[in-house]
Amino acid sequence: MRFSLFIFIVLIFRCTFAQVSLNYSNSIEIIEKKFKSDTISKNLLLLPLLSLNFELNSNPALSNFINLKKNTISINLNDYYNSSKEFVNHISRFNFLIFNFSKRKSDKIYSFGSEIVSFSEATVDTRLIKLINDGNYQYLNQNLSFGPENFIRSQNYISLFFGYSQNLMSNFYCSAKINLIKGMYNTGLNISEFNVLSETSLDSNSNPYLINFNTQSNYYNNRGQNLISNLGVSVDLEINYDFRPNFDFYLKVEDFGYINWEENNYRIDGDFEFSGVDFNLEENLGLEFSNLVDSIFDEFSSTQFTTTKYRFNPYVFNFGAVYNLQNLNDNLNFDFELQKLKTGFLVTYSLRYYKYFSAHNIVITPTYRLNKFSYTSLSLLIYKRWQNNFLSSIYFGNLFSPVINPQSNSTVLGCGFGILF
């Protein structure tokens, strides 16, 4: 498998291109693409600690349950679960560029840099949240069952990358980047099975209710913080094909790879039936509840063990087409995106209009994005070249949400700053 991957990368490196297709999805990528299409500038430095991209997809929308009043943030759990039908779902990705340097030599471009990536994902049944918040009486004589579709996970890693692209022929552009990864933080909770049954009990005079619950769950977090622990590798690949003078296709994948995580695991299994606490005024109520807690812990076994596990990075796959309307100053870009999730993919469709104002060295790109979280996501990316040496870009997501959809479920923000020399 490793040999096949090596051969594939070598073949990619030998692909060729003449013209860089102006497809991009964030404020950092547009600066890199503009540099590659500029044959005069020799070097590009994306300014350290000033280039980043953040994307959040949330169901329900944050505005549905988070309130900000008088500099105080409050969360309303009732609004939280009432705003969703069956599951609440949150996906966030944050890319923070530490530095990125690119150098042009003839028709070749070399680059290296470092980046921090944070990714989080959570899916929870609304009934489970309602059970925790409001208690079990509302589910009297009902058997609640929760399965592996309920989980929370988060990972954070830093990468050192090396990139290469080359211009050889008239209708191909190819580039590749290899990322050497150091995992920094990885945690998650997986629920294999969790059942709760609350029912009336006619056999008991002291307590007319019985509660039975059982679970099989696993919590994990990473261990080992030395330099050689939690290492991984990934690749970024891109191929552009000039099908016709004004029509391009592209295919690209970002962060396709894995991290070999060293993990601590805590597995919880057990079954417990609660029929109430019997006490009288002469007994210590606190002691009775303490004994109850001890009984619960006795019924549930907790097994701790360590593992070494390969986990895929949350890679992103894009396929699209660019139609040039007028001498590369105007084009339309249709993009199909797949983002790897724990189970399946998040599918996003995007339509972008690229407009270059040559007199002012400004690019304006409005984008319409569509996925299961939002049908009215309209964003705007603005790129500006200052005095031929300084580059800047800024990206606003859901620009018109207050008008079109005040309770938007998607948020995209980004910025990038670079120097040509």
Per-residue pLDDT tens for 119-136? 999 999 999 888 888 887
Per-residue pLDDT band at 418 (split at 50, 70, 90): very high
User: pLDDT tens digits for 202-232?
Assistant: 655 556 667 787 888 999 999 877 888 999 9
Averaged over 295-319, what is the pLDDT? 84
pLDDT tops 50 at residue 3? no
Helix, strand, coil shares of the chain, percent, nearest 5, are: 15, 60, 25
* Residue 386 belongs to a domain: no
Identify the DSSP state of 358.
T
pLDDT (0 to 100) of residue 397: 78
- Tell me if 237 is assigned to some domain: yes
Q: Please give the residue range of the domain that contains residue 235.
A: 2-381+391-420
Q: Which residues lie below 8 Å from residue 80, measured CB to CB, with a gap of 6+?
A: 60, 64, 65, 88, 129
How far apart (Å, rounded) are the C-alpha atoms in residues 69 and 51? 31
**Is 161 within a domain?**
yes
DSSP-based three-state secondary structure for 327:
coil
Residue 285 CA to residue 294 CA, distance in Å, equals: 14
Q: What is the mean pLDDT of residues 142-167?
A: 92
CA distances from 247 to 31, 102, 138, 171, 237 (A): 22, 27, 59, 11, 21
Is 337 among the domain residues? Answer: yes
Task: Please answer whether residues 113 and 158 qualify as being in contact, where contact means their C-beta atoms are separated by less than 8 angstroms.
Answer: no
Cα(375)–Cα(401) distance, integer angstroms: 11
213-217, 286-290, 303-307: segment of lowest average pLDDT: 286-290
pLDDT of residue 234: 98
Choose between 399 and 416: higher pLDDT: 416
Q: In the structure, what pLDDT confidence band is assigned to residue 14 with cuts at 50, 70 and 90?
A: very low
Q: What is the mean pLDDT of residues 96-109?
A: 91
Structure tokens at 144: 């609640």
Q: Are 264 and 304 in contact (CB under 8 A)?
A: yes
Backbone dihedral region of 182: left (phi > 0), alpha (psi from -120 to 50 degrees) or beta?
beta
Classify residue 395: in a domain, yes or no.
yes
Number of structural domains (the chain) is 1
Q: How far apart (Å, rounded) are the C-alpha atoms in residues 181 and 118?
A: 13
Q: Which carries the bigger pLDDT value, residue 278 or residue 236?
A: 236
Identify the pLDDT of residue 168.
67
pLDDT for res 79: 83
Q: pTM for the complete prediction?
A: 0.83
Q: How far is CA 118 from the centre of its chain?
A: 7
| Tokens linked to 360 | 């002012």
Q: In 3D, which of 319, 343, 317, 345 has the Cα closest to residue 254? A: 317
158 part of a folded domain: yes
Per the prediction, the chain carries an average pLDDT of 83
> How far apart are the two ends of the chain, measured CA to CA in Å?
41
| pLDDT band at residue 61 using 50, 70 and 90 as cut-offs | confident
Percent of the chain with pLDDT over 90: 43
